[in-house]
């Protein structure tokens, strides 16, 4: 068995004297683990840092085996990410989210979204908005997508500013006015392209929205909670000058 793919490093753990087990999110083969011989040595260690993009070749005798990776560098961005607190928290949080997906289950759109987030981590507010959208898309990949296209009460496509915590559907300003204290806020940046950094209030509303449904549908049934790294990332972004 053999395949070649692009992979974003999510994590690495030492194996034996000098090897490492590396976890990557690949474009066509999903979240995948493999053994890198010599991966703990100084020559390969810089390549196997979270956030780096590698060309990986996986080989195994049988498909169900762990298998071996050979790796080559494509984009070694980890060095720049590791000097930013919010970026470190983001990498940890994103890795935790991706482990909700079944191993080796292909999700090409998830790979592309992850790569896009990592390219924007030097702009904390933009990266935060992309992570909110990533969380929303991940809910869909897990089978718990929200319906934010039209108002649950009236069917209108306009002025959608709330989300029902019960149905996960959007609600318009007029239809939701009487129940606004019981509804979740729908930030405008989830309705189109993220051209400018959202305000701190918009980001807070976005993370509250996705956090509620991640906890309800993806984490609580597993006996888990939202990772501390998520809260630390949000706090770091809110302290960043662009979000102040």
Residue 22 tokens, joined: 């590396």
Based on the fold, state whether residues 71 and 129 are members of the same structural domain.
no
Q: Calculate what percentage of the chain has a pLDDT beyond 90.
A: 91
* Domain assignment present for 225: yes
Considering its fold, how many domains does the chain have in total?
Answer: 2
What mean pLDDT do residues 82-92 have?
94
- Pair 58, 124 in one domain: no
Question: Is the same domain home to 89 and 121?
Answer: yes
Q: Are 60 and 114 in a shared domain?
A: no
| pTM for the predicted model, two decimal places | 0.94
| Whole-Å CA distances, 111 to 28, 30, 69, 71 | 9, 8, 18, 18
Q: State the residue range of the domain holding 47.
A: 2-77
Which element (helix H / strand E) includes 8?
strand 2-15
Mean pLDDT for the stretch of residues 181-206: 91
Domain limit, last residue, from 77, 92, 116:
77
The answer to whether residue 168 is domain-embedded is no
Looking at residue 157, its pLDDT comes to: 95
Does the residue 15 lie in any domain?
yes
Reading phi first (left if > 0) and then psi (alpha if -120 to 50, else beta), residue 104 is in left
Is residue 220 situated within a structural domain?
A: yes
Same domain, 111 and 202: yes
The per-residue pLDDT for 193 is 74
- Report the C-alpha gap between 98 and 111 in whole angstroms: 10
pLDDT over 70 at 176, yes or no: yes
pLDDT higher than threshold 70 for residue 243: no
33 within some domain: yes
Q: Please indicate, yes or no, whether residues 8 and 129 belong to a single structural domain of this protein.
A: no
Q: What string of H, E and C letters represents the secondary structure of the chain? A: CEEEEEEEEEEEEEECCCEEEEEEEECCCEEEEEEECCCCCCCCHHHHCCCCEEEEEEECCCCCCCCEEEEEEEECCHHHHCCCHHHHHHHHHHHHHHCCCCCCCCCHHHHHHHHHHHHCCCCHHHHHHHHHHHHHHHHHHCCCCCECCCCCCCCCCCCEEEECCCCCEEEEHHHHHHHHHHCEECCHHHHCCCCCCCCHHHHHHHHHHHHHHHHHHHHHHHCCCCCHHHHHHHHHHHHCHHHC
* pLDDT above 90: residue 98: yes
The answer as to whether 177 is a domain residue is: no
Residue 242 has pLDDT above 60, yes or no: no
Same-domain pairing of 70 and 14:
yes
Instruction: Clarify whether residues 105 and 192 are in a common domain.
Output: yes
Does residue 181 fall inside a structural domain?
A: no
Q: What does the pLDDT read at residue 244? A: 47
CA 87 to chain centroid, in Å, comes to: 12
CA distances from 223 to 158, 215, 216 (A): 38, 10, 11
User: To the nearest whole number, what is the mean pLDDT of the chain?
Assistant: 95
Q: Are residues 203 and 238 in the same domain?
A: yes
The answer to whether residues 16 and 69 belong to one domain is yes
Residue 162 domain-assigned (yes or no): no
């Amino acid at each position: 068995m053999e395949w070649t793919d692009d992979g974003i490093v999510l994590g690495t753990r030492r194996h034996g004297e000098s090897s490492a087990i590396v976890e990557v999110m690949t474009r066509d083969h999903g979240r995948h683990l493999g053994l890198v011989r010599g991966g703990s040595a100084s020559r390969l260690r810089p390549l196997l840092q979270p956030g780096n993009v590698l060309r990986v070749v996986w080989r195994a005798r049988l498909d169900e085996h762990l298998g071996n990776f050979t790796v080559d560098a494509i984009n070694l961005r980890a060095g720049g990410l590791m000097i930013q607190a919010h970026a470190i928290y983001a990498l940890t949080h994103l890795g935790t989210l991706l482990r909700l997906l079944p191993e080796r289950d292909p999700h090409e759109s998830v790979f592309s979204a992850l790569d896009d987030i990592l390219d924007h981590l030097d702009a904390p507010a933009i990266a935060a908005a992309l992570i909110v959208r990533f969380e929303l898309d991940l809910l869909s990949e897990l089978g718990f997508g929200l319906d934010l296209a039209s108002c649950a009460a009236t069917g209108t496509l306009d002025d959608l500013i709330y989300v029902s915590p019960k149905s996960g559907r959007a609600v318009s300003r007029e239809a939701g006015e009487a129940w606004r204290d019981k509804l979740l806020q729908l930030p405008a940046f989830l309705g189109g392209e993220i051209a400018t950094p959202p305000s701190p209030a918009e980001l807070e509303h976005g993370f509250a929205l996705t956090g509620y449904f991640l906890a309800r549908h993806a984490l609580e049934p597993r006996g888990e909670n939202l990772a501390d790294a998520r809260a630390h990332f949000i706090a770091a972004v809110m302290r960043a000058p662009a979000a102040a």
